[in-house]
Amino acid sequence: MDLANRIEALLFAEGGSLAKKKLAQILEVDAAALTAGLHDLAARKEGTGLSLVETHSEVTLAVSPDAASTIEKAFEKEVGREIGDAGLEVLAIILYRGPSTRAQIDYIRGVNTSTTIRTLTARGLVERIPNPEDGREYLYRPTTELLAHLGVGKLDDLPEYGKISSELATFEESKGPFAEHNEPEQPTSES
């Protein structure tokens, strides 16, 4: 695989910006080779839905200016929807349980929550962070904007935080601990 394709794969997998220095280390190339690979990738992305964005120290893949209006319309449609009961339930799980994977949230709710999580993320109520225990999945946690909107300075300030977080933990333990090798039942479609 050529260098431009390897750079693209790493940037896609990262889902955000990477320092050029780190990218060169991962790819085991020098700065000149990295610059040439980035130039090649930028040329390949011209006229597509993605573009390469570069600063003096970082690089990322982003939506191209030509495709931005399409993404903006889709985003507005997603944000325009009410979060509904499903959104409130997912927020409660993330607030009272702490950072959770989508599978853990699905397990507690008993339904697939991918659409709800996408809506909450688009609205800036939850954020996706890497899972330090498993690089293949993400954790979802409340944003500071959500906490500010709720009028709390920290999670402990939420109403009945200790009681509800304890009850959530008891629920997970009583239904079979959510462990590495214990897969939950397949959730039904989202409600």
pLDDT tens profile 40-99:
999 999 999 888 888 888 888 888 878 877 877 766 665 556 778 889 999 999 999 999
In the chain, DSSP assigns E strands to 18-19, 50-54, 58-63, 126-130, 138-142
The fold of the 3-63 domain, in CATH, is Arc Repressor Mutant, subunit A (1.10.10)
CATH class label, 76-174? mainly alpha
Could you state, in order of their start, the residue ranges of all structural domains in the chain?
A: 3-63, 76-174
Give the whole-angstrom CA distance, residue 115 versus residue 112.
8
Mean pLDDT of the chain: 83
Is the fold of 3-63 the same as that of 76-174?
Answer: yes
What tokens does 135 get? Answer: 């690089």
> For position 184, what pLDDT does the model report?
46
